[in-house]
Amino acid sequence: MGDHRRRPGLSADAPHARLAGFLYLGTIGFGVYAEVVARGALIVRGDAAATAQAIFASGSTFRLGMIADLAMLGCYIGVTILLHGIFRMGAPRISATAASFSLIGIAMLACDTLLSAMILRLPDLGQPSSSLADWVYLLLRVHGDGYKISLVFFGAYCLLLGWLIWRGGAMPRAIGLLVAAAGACNLVNSLAWLGAPLWAAQLPQYFTLPTLLGELALALWLLAFGIREREA
């Protein structure tokens, strides 16, 4: 008979943790493709007409960005459910609150994807190209605004998740600090944009670097090591 015992120190949640790490990497990968590769390749900064022309001429690329957006959200739903399942035993209320923030942010981004679909429907209006370009510019701006607002909820999620990691003892506390720092950066960026846009515009671009580092560190740790038995 095979030996089905766990390796010493390895938690029963380790398979779920590794799946969460895999889905977290999928979240990051699909998100980068959608924003940087698909949409980023079509947006011409400061030129609404050229942007509209590029999007309408390369509708398939723009649609791939939308598909990547949905794949990203699907992966993050999985991450949220799996991590809630892991941390709910130790801190059920905090874990449930964190998951709620994440799901609200996901729902907002799902609605945000509808704005991309609206852009592809604009030619159906039969309006002049100049008017369509103005609509494309407006919808892209609102799409970006929706993303920034969603980061308030994702920032709160990462702050709470970082706390859960810190107190749980199942992963290095440094990972918890990095994730919490990612959440703090998201909150500062988004709330500054909402309340003090002039000040937010002066924030250096590298200010958002902890966001990527924190989430990437968590994803890679989960995928490579899973989680260990919680400390008594």
pLDDT, average across residues 19-40 = 94
Give the number of other Cβ atoms within 10 Å of residue 169's Cβ.
16
Give the number of other Cβ atoms within 10 Å of residue 64's Cβ.
16
pLDDT, average across residues 169-189 = 91
pLDDT, average across residues 36-60 = 90
Residue 67 contacts by C-beta under 8 Å, 6 or more apart in sequence?
Answer: none
pLDDT of 50 reads 92
* Position 59 confidence tier, pLDDT thresholds 50, 70, 90: confident
- Encoding tokens for residue 91? 């801190």
- The more confidently predicted of residues 105 and 231 is 105
pLDDT of 15 reads 84
- The more confidently predicted of residues 59 and 84 is 84
How far, in Å, CA of 95 to CA of 106, rounded? Answer: 17
Residue type for 217, please?
A
Using an 8 Å Cβ cutoff, are 188 and 169 in contact? no
pLDDT of 1 reads 42
Range with lowest mean pLDDT among 35-39, 201-205, 224-228 = 201-205
How far, in Å, CA of 81 to CA of 33, rounded? Answer: 24
Q: Give 228's strand partners.
A: 10
